[in-house]
Chains A and B, each alone.
Chain A
Amino acid sequence: MAANMGALICQDVGESVKDPDFVNSLQLVVSEACTNAVKHGANSHKDAEIILQVMLDEQTLIITVKDCNCAFDFSAICEPDLENHPENGYGVFLMRTLMDEVKYVHQDGWNCITLVKHKPCYRQE
């Protein structure tokens, strides 16, 4: 369901941003953030809330995923070893690779991941 939310949001975004690669990567990172929030956050309660906020203006898309849980050390999440390929740990790496900025804060008991993507510019040669 978390990933489907990403697909729905990206459908709307895709109508204004005509770049299929951009929309595909957006769908993926939203899915990753939501999946992580469900899997690791939300205090493992089945009925816990996860908040998904989307802001889109002329230049930037900002997506925030919030779950109510204890803080964690986001900066300590290191890149997976792509020579030896672990069996997990690719989610945050993909977010960092595909988005322009990935920020984490813990506020008022909520973990907030903010994903920022600047609109692709079409260069004319």
Chain B
Amino acid sequence: MTGNSLSLVAQQKIEEWRPMKALIVMDEARCGWLRGVIQNNHPGMMPFCNKPLLEYLLDFSILCGCEQLRFVMDEPGDEIEDYFDNGSKWGISISYASSRASDTLEDILEKNSTFCDEPTLIIDGFCFIGYSKNEDYDSLSDHRPEEPQLRCGSGQMLIHQHGEPLRVLHGLAESRLEVLPLEAIGDCYDISMHILDSTSGEYVLPGYNNEAGVFIGRNVTISKSTTITKPVMLGNNVQLQENTVIGPGAIIGSNVIVDTGTSIEKSIIINNSYVGTELKIKKKIIHSTVAISAETGTSIRFVDDHLLSGLKQCAPRKMPRLIVHWVLACLFFVSGIIPALLFQLLLKKRETHTILRHNGKSLSIASLQLSSNSLVEQLARIFLVDKVMLLPHVLSGRLDLVGNKPFPATPDGEKQYADFNNYLPGIFSFSESQSIEEGDFQEEIAERYFSANRRFWGDLQVIIKTFTTRW
């Protein structure tokens, strides 16, 4: 054979072996520990520098040349399918399969035999793959017994080829490629911090990155008095209030509010968290009501009023505030009741709902639903007719004029009530005045922030903002 023919054959061999498919297997036995620490989504969606673990594995699979990918889990999560869908966003085809808890990897391969009919890269277990987007993994499947195997205590990387035994892959010489265990929260912390500090250039990370060590997401509000020291990463819809000190080593997820005077250093604030005022957060992972020490792994549930709390408290209703609300309600009622009654006659769209009051008791209210775009309904919205119709409840002392968006008197609403500190329902709500979409998780964050920061002038601003927003 000539040299050219040899290289052609070698080239062919490499292409034959190049995995076209990837199978990512994540079993509850190895990842379930994370659910006990951070009770939220599937462990595969655990963010590392604001990017889910599974997305790193997907990116790596694409780097290896895979065009089809399948996730196999024995405890599948809707959030995984919602996030990845059919893979079109990444130019790859993604499918999903379930396994039983007792299935071995061989059983899983058998159950996915149609999918695994071509060379298949398998990432099995709960582990992080350290790689670089700048490296070439074409020869990954070659035999290299002199290099260490790509496996760790909680996971491994293998190649499946029809007619060949399943084989654990070996690393590449002078490569960043490694398989890192995820067996404790400290592992997640260390990997995230390492990416932020040293290896952010090796991965595709979310956020605007015009300056090394700084990643900023969409819709981020930073107060003028905030100090930011890199490396730092901010997700989407983040609010940093006055005099906050962020970084070095701060990873803040999406939909997070960091309140006045708080400093965050070498810490991770996971999505959908509210961090209260004048706190010093160092070497912690914060998620909702819980702070986890990165060093010891112990969880601390904050009972401070200014952090999200799992404890239910019946909010005290201060008399001066009630009086002011009552007077304002009277003024609105007197000026708005006649036009409101006229609109109500035209619209005839009253519906009865039952909501929860501040003390947890149910209250039945008849409200106008103004959901369509007809001229009459638009005018009714502009003139706050739906609010005027609820004013009698404020005048009778059952509701506040300005407060939290009321929870429905349903089992879900009661759960939210139990979890919400200082709940005071009102007919004007903070999240509505901020034009936050109903049902968006940011709505809950905004409502909690408002509860912790109630001021008289703030209440007036809510009313004015609601009015101007509707205009």
Give me the interface of A with B, judged by CB distance under 8 Å. Answer: 57-60, 118, 125
Q: Is the CB of B89 within 8 A of A58?
A: no
A57 CA / B372 CA spacing, docked (Å)? 8
A60–B351 Cα gap in the complex (Å)? 15
Which residues 365-404 of B have a CB within 8 angstroms of A?
371-373
**Cβ contacts B63-93/A at 8 Å (1 or 0 each):** 0000000000000000000000000010000
Task: Count A-B contacts at CB 8 Å.
Answer: 9
The docked-state distance in angstroms from the alpha carbon of A57 to that of B370 is 12
Question: Looking across the interface, which residue of chain A has its beta carbon closest to that of B78?
Answer: A97
Q: Sorted from nearest, which 6 A-B pairs have the closest CB atoms?
A: A59-B371, A57-B372, A57-B371, A58-B372, A125-B89, A58-B373
Complexed CA–CA distance, A58 and B372 (Å): 7
**Complex Cα gap A57–B369 (Å):** 13
Contact, CB under 8 Å: B89 / A60: no
Minimum distance in angstroms from A123 CB to a CB of chain B: 10
CB-defined A-B contacts under 8 Å, sample of 9: A57-B371, A57-B372, A58-B371, A58-B372, A58-B373, A59-B371, A60-B371, A118-B439, A125-B89
| Distance (whole angstroms) from the CB of A84 to the closest CB of chain B | 15
Q: Which residues of A contact B439 (CB under 8 A)?
A: 118
Complex alpha-carbon distance, A118 and B438, angstroms: 11
Considering the chains assembled together, what is the distance between the CA atoms of A60 and B438 in angstroms? 13
Q: In the bound complex, what is the Cα–Cα distance between A58 and B89 (angstroms)?
A: 27
A59 CA to B372 CA in the complex, in Å?
9
- A58: B residues at CB distance < 8 A: 371-373
CB distance from B91 to the nearest CB of A (A): 14
Chain A's nearest CB lies how many Å from the CB of B163?
38
Residues of A within 8 Å of B371, CB to CB, are: 57-60
Which residue on B lies nearest to A59, using beta carbons? B371
B347 to chain A, nearest CB (A): 14
| Chain A, Cβ-Cβ closest to B439 | A118
CA distance A76 to B371 in the complex (A): 32
Chain A neighbourhood of B372, CB < 8 A: 57-58
Bound: A106/B371 CA distance, A: 26
CB distance from A75 to the nearest CB of B (A): 8
Bound Cα distance A125, B218 (Å) = 10
One digit per residue, 1 when the CB lies within 8 angstroms of any chain A CB and 0 when it does not, for chain B 23-38 equals 0000000000000000
CB-CB nearest in chain A for B438: A118
A125 to B84, CA, bound (A): 13
A7 to chain B, nearest CB (A): 24
**Residues of A contacting B373 in the complex (Cβ-Cβ under 8 angstroms):** 58
A75 to B27, CA, bound (A): 35
Q: How far is the CA of A58 from the CA of B371 in the complex (A)?
A: 9
A64 to chain B, nearest CB (A): 14
A119 to B373, CA, bound (A): 16
Across the two chains, which residue of chain B brings its CB closest to A60? B371
**How far is B371's CA from A59's CA once the two chains are assembled, in angstroms?**
8
Inter-chain contacts of B89 with A (CB < 8 A) = 125
Residues of B within 8 A of A125 (CB): 89
Q: A60-B371, A125-B89 are in contact. List 7 more A-B contacts (CB 8 A).
A: A57-B371, A57-B372, A58-B371, A58-B372, A58-B373, A59-B371, A118-B439
Task: Report the nearest A residue to B89, measured CB to CB.
Answer: A125
